[in-house]
């Protein structure tokens, strides 16, 4: 079908470009799943399973969707078209755009055809894939750092724009540049900048971060569901403030920033609570899984059966919230429930992708090869290396959370300071300065305060995506940043207002 479309679209190059873009292979997903697929191939090969049976096994693994599709295509060509598995793998290597996947397939085909040991090749290739993944994780952190720096520059430009509009609105230095009707246009430009341009740029940065940073959590929908009802309630409340004269007093400069803060917090806090409960158990699972696999492996080495090894390893304390899942696994195994059923039950409790894949590979190894100590040792070593990469990545990204709070405080303090200082200067007879009414200054501070609070709320989702890989984490950071911004605004306005005798 793709070839037919490409033949029909031999005309304008733009159509061919669009078609190639739509049909382009997502190499990032292949490279992400390749270590786990290679690990599964290695463990199954160590247990005596052929490569074709390994591909057939991949057809039923939904946690590796890209390789599941690849496995179905290879099995189809072998069973329907009658090709040899090695020939099909060689053809798939020529078609794929992923360099790592292509080298893996070609190396395996060459190793088998030359009479080499396929288990030794898979083990050595697994080490190579791990090294490539470690380097890719480092490059990913560097790209995220560049993205955060670009976002910081955007916030600095936003702050400079705020200051520029304050100067324009409060002085007559630029009076010769004005024409009739400019005052209304200036106000509309301020509203467009604060409530449209700046949020739009933040959303663009969030979209870029979403493309760059992948989350280990899957099927995380509960935090978004928790935000639906508060969002409807806040929307109804804002509409009531706008339409009902009895509530107009809430839009005063003294109250409206507080109202906006409470509304945004009411949206973020319920979802943040839900997310933190999910993140806690999955974070404990990611930290504990390598230790759990190590205990299973050591128990297997002394001759215990795979089931006994899992039961023995699950009794170890110190796994945090993950201990409850291990207790469930132990009790089900003691009652004689099948390992396949236990694996399905784990999916209902755990939502972190690496832990689910590791547990799936563990169960597949036990079902097919009896869980030999050699195979489990390979799984354990890779799981420990994967944990080290994730821990290093998280530690390198944590400073950007602190940077976000610095953004919030500086933007709030600087905008308030400039606005009130210029207002105080306009009360003095200076060349090019006109007296500015107190109400006008308060309205300006009100507008910019709302814009700053909204910007900090959106920044929380950007920080959550960069730091933890999921937008759901943004609810937690948004609540903290909004609260930080509001406190900074209140303190700066109170302090400077007292200094300039603007408040009692």
Q: What are the pLDDT digits (tens) for 430-489? A: 555 556 666 666 777 778 888 889 989 999 999 999 888 888 989 999 999 999 998 988
Q: Residue 13: is its pLDDT beyond 70?
A: no
The mean pLDDT value for 372-391 works out to 78
Residue 117 phi/psi, 5-degree rounding, is: -85, 115
Q: Residue 270: is its pLDDT beyond 90?
A: yes
Mean per-residue pLDDT over the chain, rounded: 79
Q: Predicted confidence band at 338 (pLDDT cuts at 50, 70, 90)?
A: confident
Strand partners, 352: 217
The mean pLDDT value for 351-378 works out to 77
Q: Predicted confidence band at 408 (pLDDT cuts at 50, 70, 90)?
A: confident
Which tops the pLDDT comparison, 46 or 469?
A: 469
**Residue 137 near residue 393 (C-beta atoms within 8 A):** yes
Per-residue pLDDT, 428: 66
Cβ-in-10-Å burial (0-12, 13-18, 19+) of 475 comes to buried
Q: Residue 272: is its pLDDT beyond 90?
A: yes
Contacts of 423 (CB under 8 A, 6+ apart): 170, 436, 438, 441, 500, 502
Per-residue pLDDT, 229: 93
Per-residue pLDDT, 177: 45
Strand partners, 217: 352
Which tops the pLDDT comparison, 27 or 90?
A: 90
Per-residue pLDDT, 477: 92
The mean pLDDT value for 486-501 works out to 76
- Which of 56-60, 179-183, 263-267 has the weakest average pLDDT? 179-183
Q: What are the pLDDT digits (tens) for 109-143? A: 888 888 777 878 888 887 788 777 777 777 888 88
CA atoms within 13 Å, Cβ hemisphere of 121: 19
Contacts of 146 (CB under 8 A, 6+ apart): none
Which tops the pLDDT comparison, 420 or 61?
A: 61
Per-residue pLDDT, 171: 57
Q: Predicted confidence band at 9 (pLDDT cuts at 50, 70, 90)?
A: very low
Spatial separation of the C-alpha atoms in residues 375 and 371, rounded to whole Å: 7
**Residue 353 near residue 216 (C-beta atoms within 8 A):** yes
Contacts of 438 (CB under 8 A, 6+ apart): 423, 502
pTM exceeds 0.95 for this model: no
The mean pLDDT value for 50-59 works out to 85
Q: What are the pLDDT digits (tens) for 317-329? A: 777 788 888 888 8
User: Which domains does the chain possess?
Assistant: 27-116 (no CATH), 140-174+185-272+398-499 (no CATH), 283-394 (1.20.81)
Runs of H (alpha helix) within 47-181? 51-58, 65-79, 85-95, 99-113, 118-170
Biggest CA pair distance of the chain:
94
The mean pLDDT value for 381-386 works out to 81
Please state, for a pLDDT cut of 70, what percent of the chain lies above it. 84
Q: Predicted confidence band at 174 (pLDDT cuts at 50, 70, 90)?
A: very low
The mean pLDDT value for 401-410 works out to 85
């Amino acid at each position: 079908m793709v070839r037919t479309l490409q033949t029909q679209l031999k005309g304008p190059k733009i159509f061919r470009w669009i078609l190639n873009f739509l049909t382009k292979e997502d190499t990032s997903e292949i490279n992400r799943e390749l270590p786990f697929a290679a690990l599964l191939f290695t463990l199954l090969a160590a247990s005596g399973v052929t490569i074709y049976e390994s591909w057939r096994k991949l057809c039923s693994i939904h946690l590796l969707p890209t390789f599941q599709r690849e496995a179905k295509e290879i099995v189809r060509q072998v069973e329907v078209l009658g090709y040899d598995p090695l020939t099909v793998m060689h053809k798939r290597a020529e078609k794929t755009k992923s360099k790592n996947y292509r080298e893996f397939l070609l190396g395996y085909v060459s190793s088998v055809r030359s009479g080499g040991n396929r288990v030794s090749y898979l083990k050595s290739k697994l080490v190579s894939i791990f090294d490539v993944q470690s380097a890719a994780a480092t490059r990913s952190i560097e790209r995220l750092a560049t993205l955060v720096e670009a976002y910081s520059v955007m916030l600095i430009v936003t702050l400079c724009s705020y200051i520029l509009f304050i100067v324009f609105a409060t002085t007559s230095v630029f009076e010769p540049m004005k024409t009739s009707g400019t005052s209304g246009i200036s106000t509309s430009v301020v509203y467009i900048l604060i409530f449209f341009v700046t949020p739009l740029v933040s959303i663009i940065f969030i979209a870029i971060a979403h493309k760059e940073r992948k989350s280990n959590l899957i099927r995380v929908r509960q935090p978004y569901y928790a935000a639906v009802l508060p969002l409807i309630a806040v929307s109804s409340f804002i509409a009531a403030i706008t339409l009902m004269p009895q509530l107009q007093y809430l839009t005063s400069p003294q109250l409206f920033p507080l109202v906006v803060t409470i509304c945004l917090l009411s949206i973020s806090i319920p979802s943040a609570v839900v997310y933190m409960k999910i993140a806690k158990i999955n974070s404990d699972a990611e930290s504990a899984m390598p230790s759990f696999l190590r205990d299973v492996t050591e128990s297997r080495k002394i001759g215990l059966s795979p089931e006994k090894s899992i039961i023995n390893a699950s009794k170890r304390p110190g796994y945090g919230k993950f201990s409850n899942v291990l207790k469930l696994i132990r009790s089900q195994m003691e009652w004689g429930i099948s390992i396949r059923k236990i694996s399905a039950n784990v999916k209902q409790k755990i939502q972190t992708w690496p832990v689910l894949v590791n547990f799936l590979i563990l169960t597949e190894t036990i079902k097919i090869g009896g869980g030999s100590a050699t195979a489990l040792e390979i799984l354990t070593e890779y799981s420990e290396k994967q944990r080290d990469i994730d821990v290093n990545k998280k530690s390198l990204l944590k400073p950007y959370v602190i940077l976000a709070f610095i953004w919030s405080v500086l933007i709030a303090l600087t905008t308030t300071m400039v606005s009130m200082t210029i207002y105080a200067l306009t009360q003095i007879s200076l060349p090019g300065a006109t007296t500015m009414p107190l109400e006008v200054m308060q309205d300006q501070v009100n507008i910019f305060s709302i814009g700053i609070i909204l910007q900090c709320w959106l920044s929380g989702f950007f920080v959550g995506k960069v730091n933890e890989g999921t937008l759901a984490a943004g609810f937690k950071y948004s609540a903290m940043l909004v609260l930080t911004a509001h406190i900074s605004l209140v303190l700066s306005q109170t302090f400077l207002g007292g200094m300039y005798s603007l408040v009692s």
